[in-house]
A and B are shown apart, each in its own frame.
Chain A
Amino acid sequence: MGDFFQFTLTGLTIGSIYAIVALGFVTIYSVTKVINLAQGEFVMLGGLTMYSLSSFGMPYWLGFIVTIVFVSIIGWLMEFVLIRRAKGANPISLIILTIGTAIFIRGIASMVWGKDQLRVDPFTENKPVNIVGATITPQAIWVILIMLVVVSLLYILINKTMVGKAFQASSINPLAARLMGISPKKMASLSFTLSAALGALAGLAIAPIMFPSYDMGTMLGIKGFSAAILGGLGSAPGAVIGGLLIGLLESLGAGYISSGMKDVITFSVILLILLIRPSGILGEKSVGKGGL
């Protein structure tokens, strides 16, 4: 039983990161219908920027803020310089554009930070804690807490503020939103900025556990995207469920079967779920075209 709790806690930790990355995918997709395959690179930038700032001796809380602001600006720039210019391009072209952006960011990162894995100190003293026979580090608790805070804040932003309502409106019916005076450009900008901030948060949180490197974003991006698809690409709660589920599947698969088989097990289950429910766990079945 102790093993089960151990694997579950490990799964929830990594699943929390996947959930935040998946929320980034959903945030952009719901408003712009763009699948941003550079989302993992925002995570990588978050981790590596935090490494640089902490190695310069910047206090953690300040490094946190600076990192999120810096990566958010990168997200905003990506929308402003690339996506906006390619407005009206077909979805495949836009996906290729985001892949190109990911490769570009990765290239710059390898030049700036090198190709080695780097060490970032945990947020607090990292003495493991024992919970129901399972050992968990304070940093892992921080990761889960950050995910819960992110989900709560995102819920409040989207459902309780005028900006959030406008954001939802752009997602539900872009045409009607435009006639309400809601600028699609502003909403697209907001979605990329918010998504980059989410990526940065994930990177910050995971950096002390998974030593950051220039190529860490690739796998995290794939897992986050898988989580978003599993949950239903337009659904934020689905993204969280998808992320946690993938984290748990990985951890339990590695623990009980084989660590070499963890991805095979995870993606087999994902495929099975999508065969039964192609729109994802909480995705809405689409019938023809929406809008007006």
Chain B
Amino acid sequence: MNNMLTIENLSLQFGGVKALNDVSFHIEEGEIFSLIGPNGAGKTSMLNCISGLYQPTKGSMKFQNQEILTMKPYNRTGLGIARAFQNIALFAHMSVLDNLKLGRHIHMKSGLFAGGLYWGAAQKEEVEHRHAVEEVIEFLEMQDIRNVPVGTLSYGLQKRVEVGRALALNPKMILLDEPMAGMNSSEKEDMARYIIDMHETKGMTVVLIEHDMGVIMDLSDHIAVLDFGKLIGFGTPEEIQNNPEVIKAYLGEEEAG
């Protein structure tokens, strides 16, 4: 299998604090890859580096063999990297449909002028994008809430819209930061099913941060474990479950708690 993302010797520093310290791993095309670790381990920082919100201090990051380390976030989106946030970053006043349509913005070919005047190709193009958005609505079973302002939805549904907006980008790789946080068990089951479907029916590479170990072990093809910004484990769920350093990090955290 080809590597979708290759990270080598990645470090990220904020002043004197090393959020990530010489981290290396790779993510294979079409797999569900999970990032785990105790709180403050650097998981979200890693996603922020991949999506371009943080600029690493050193290292290399190749997406489909193209170096993306210094690339702007909106250019990475164009390459096919989409991101859903842990603390929901939806446009609250807009409807579900409009939030998802924004996910198609990167694929718009008509210029600002034609788009603004909404004529010719721009109009035709918007109809095409509408179809793509409808597919996402159907995929995530959001038909009933399509015209509802997202700010009025429950937390679980907002999470689903957040994932939907990332899906609307039609990415090659989707980054999901705790997509199940704050959900009840049936919502978690639904989200797990959507993640499996993204992977199996859409062939997407999924990068997942999640605290529910049961979900992680069930879904993941490979797992990377971070602790205090260092990579302490990388492998299949079975390998991770038997990794003494990982066990120590988690048991240590529990004992400290």
Name A's B-contacting residues (CB within 8 A).
157, 160-166, 168-169, 172-173, 175-184, 186, 190, 292
A165 B116 Cβ-Cβ under 8 A: no
Q: How far is the CA of A89 from the CA of B104 in the complex (A)?
A: 32
Residues of the A chain whose Cβ atoms lie less than 8 Å from the Cβ of B102: 165-166, 169, 177, 180, 182
Q: A173-B89, A176-B85 in contact; A162/B169 too (CB < 8 A)? A: no
Q: Which residues of B contact A182 (CB under 8 A)?
A: 74, 102, 105-106
Residues of B near A161 (CB, < 8 A) are 115-116, 118, 122, 126
CA distance A164 to B104 in the complex (A): 13
Provide the bound-state CA to CA distance between A292 and B91, in Å.
12
Give the docked Cα–Cα distance between A92 and B132 (Å). 44
Given contacts A180-B106, A182-B105, whether A160 and B89 have CB atoms under 8 Å apart is no
How many angstroms between the C-alpha atoms of A176 and B72 in the bound complex?
Answer: 13
Report yes or no: A172 in contact with B92, Cβ–Cβ below 8 A: yes
Q: How large is the interface on B (under 10, 10 to 19, 20 to 34, 35 or more residues)?
A: 20 to 34
Is A181 a contact of B78 with CB atoms below 8 Å?
yes
**Contact call A180/B77, Cβ cutoff below 8 A:** yes
Taking A166-B102, A176-B90 as known contacts, 5 extra A-B pairs with beta carbons closer than 8 A to each other, sorted by chain A number, are: A165-B101, A169-B94, A178-B74, A181-B78, A184-B74
Residues of A within 8 A of B73 (CB): 178-179
Q: Is B83 an interface residue (CB 8 A)?
A: yes
Q: Which of A164, A177, A292 contacts B116 (CB 8 A)?
A: A164
Interface: B256 (CB within 8 A): no
Q: How far is the CB of B166 from chain A (nearest CB, A)?
A: 8
CB neighbours of A176 from chain B (8 A) = 85, 89-91
Bound together, the chains give a CA A112 to CA B92 distance in angstroms of 48
| A165-B85 contact in complex given A157-B116, A180-B105, A181-B74, C-beta closer than 8 Å | no
CB-contact partner of B112 in A163, A169, A172, A181, under 8 A? A163
Taking CB as reference atom, which chain A residue is nearest B162?
A176
Q: Using Cβ atoms and an 8 Å threshold, which residues of chain A touch B169? A: 180-181
- For A190, list chain B residues within 8 Å (CB): 112
Q: 8 shortest A-B CB distances, which residue pairs?
A: A181-B106, A181-B77, A176-B89, A163-B115, A178-B73, A163-B116, A181-B74, A172-B91
Closest to B125 in A: A162
Contact pick for B74, options A162, A183, A292, CB 8 Å: A183
Contact of B105 with A181 in the complex, beta carbons under 8 Å: yes
B93 on the A face (CB < 8 A): yes
Q: B39-82: which residues lie under 8 A (CB-CB) from chain A?
A: 51, 53, 72-74, 77-78, 82
Q: Is the CB of A162 within 8 A of B90?
A: no
Q: How far is the CA of A62 from the CA of B250 in the complex (A)?
A: 73
Q: Which residues of A contact B77 (CB under 8 A)?
A: 179-181
**A181: shortest Cβ distance to chain B, in Å?**
3
Contact A186 B126 (CB under 8 A): no
In Å, the complex CA distance between A184 and B73 comes to 10
Q: Assess whether B129 is interfacial by the CB under 8 Å rule.
A: yes
Which B residues are CB-close (under 8 A) to A172? 91-93
Specify which chain A residues have a CB less than 8 angstroms from the CB of B101 in the assembled complex: 162, 165
CB-based nearest A residue for B77: A181
Contacts of B90 in A (CB 8 A): 176
Tell yes or no: B222 within 8 A of A by CB: no
> Bound state CA distance, A177 and B89, in angstroms?
9
Q: Are B103 and A180 in contact (CB under 8 A)?
A: yes
- Tell me whether A292 and B85 are in contact (CB under 8 A): yes
Q: Which residues 91-114 in B have Cβ within 8 Å of A in the complex? A: 91-94, 98, 101-106, 108, 112
Show 11 residue pairs from A and B whose CB-CB distance is below 8 angstroms, ordered by the A residue: A161-B126, A165-B98, A168-B94, A169-B102, A172-B93, A176-B90, A177-B102, A179-B82, A182-B105, A182-B106, A183-B74
Is B87 on the interface with A (CB-CB < 8 A)? yes
Given contact pairs A169-B91, A190-B112, A162 touches B105 in the complex (Cβ within 8 A)? yes
